[in-house]
Amino acid sequence: MNGQIKIAFLTAYLSTGGAERVTINIASAFFRKKFNVQIVAATVVESALSDIPEGLKVFDLNNPKPLDSPSFYRNTKSILKYIRQEKPAVVISTSDYLNFALVTARFISKTKFKIIVSQQVHVSAYLKELPWLNRMFIQLIQKVVIRNADKILGVSKGVVQDLIERYRVGAHHLGKFQAIYNPLYEEKIEVMGREKIDVSAFNVPGTRLITVGRLVKQKDHDTLLHAFKLLLKKIPDAHLFIIGIGAEESNLKSTTLNLAISDKVVFLGYTHNPYAYVSKCDLFILSSLYEGFGNVIVEALSTGTNVVSTDCPSGPGEILNNGEFGFLCPVSNPPMLCDAIIRALQNKIAAPVLQKRAKDFSIESIAGQYTSLVFSLLK
């Protein structure tokens, strides 16, 4: 029966990024369960295709700028063509702009396929960063999507609650909302974590701290650098390793110079295997202003590495179960982050405990929740 159900996963970019990997993981799990699965991407990055199981179809809508407002017409037209050609039973979408185009395409096509949209970020926190006009536009299309989608998912309970409160969702629509965590745990993370590292800048004695993520304001590496400056007064042999690239890189490097800690902070740039670095560090640190879930926390737990994170909206507190599986501190507070790092170093949680927690977010476990959801919609 599964093979008769065609499920499409709609994403803006099919690439090797964290959110995109989540889409690939879920789609692949459905494919292994013998569903007729397709991935539909506005833009396909060739390097990501190596992660797609043989036989799983990928449709490229050839829209290089799918998240620009002017691309709405092109997105809608491309999705409409796909729907009429492939006739999916369910479409699962992960982008606000594509969500809006998807519900519009269904209205135009007058077809009855089911729409599941997934919100990947804490909306209220994200909207604060946007110019007024962009903020109004996003809120408008999200209201339309909430009214028309069959199911609205949040990647954490905090994301779901924020959507309900922000848009004053009435009792008659509450049943549409559900939290399903991202599937991140894979055994291969543990295997990749054991890979040797031949990088002289990393192979240094002392306490090693690490963070992984895009170098953007959302991740608030500035607070981490100031906390690390305070930490060096108490743990002078500490080193901080930063994996990632982004628009804030030059500013962050300038900050290390201004704080006189540049000899203790190493920018490693992009690496295809961050797990090999994370597994060999004393602590993984996330200093974000906001998240949707916090994929990198689950990945760090998978390597058995202790985690310190800001208790930002939302996701980290849920993954770490309010401090049971890691150490939490307030957002944008260097002294408190420094204190949390010291507490974590002095009270480490055993690696098997952390890895067991990571398995709560396994691909097969989370895919099972998606499978149940799909069947409930198609009854």
Tell me what pLDDT residue 97 has: 81
Tell me what pLDDT residue 66 has: 57
Domain ranges of the chain: 2-183+362-377, 187-360
Tell me what pLDDT residue 12 has: 85
Tell me what pLDDT residue 170 has: 87
Structure tokens at 323: 């401090």
CA gap 161, 122 in Å, rounded: 10
Give Cβ neighbours of residue 170 (< 8 Å, ≥ 6 apart).
none
DSSP β-ladder status, 265-269 and 177-179: unpaired
Q: For residue 370, give Cα distances in angstroms to 59, 98, 150.
A: 21, 20, 14
The CATH label, of 3.65.10.10, 3.30.360.10, 3.30.565.10, 3.40.50.2000, for the domain at 187-360 is 3.40.50.2000
Mean pLDDT of 81-101: 92
Residue range 224-281, pLDDT digits in tens: 999 999 999 999 999 999 999 999 999 999 999 999 999 999 999 999 899 999 999 9
CA gap 175, 171 in Å, rounded: 8
Residue range 300-336, pLDDT digits in tens: 999 999 999 999 999 999 999 999 999 999 999 999 9
Give Cβ neighbours of residue 33 (< 8 Å, ≥ 6 apart).
2, 367, 371
Residue range 4-56, pLDDT digits in tens: 899 999 988 887 666 778 888 899 999 999 999 999 988 887 777 878 888 99
The superfamily in CATH containing domain 2-183+362-377 is: Glycogen Phosphorylase B; (3.40.50.2000)
Tell me what pLDDT residue 64 has: 67
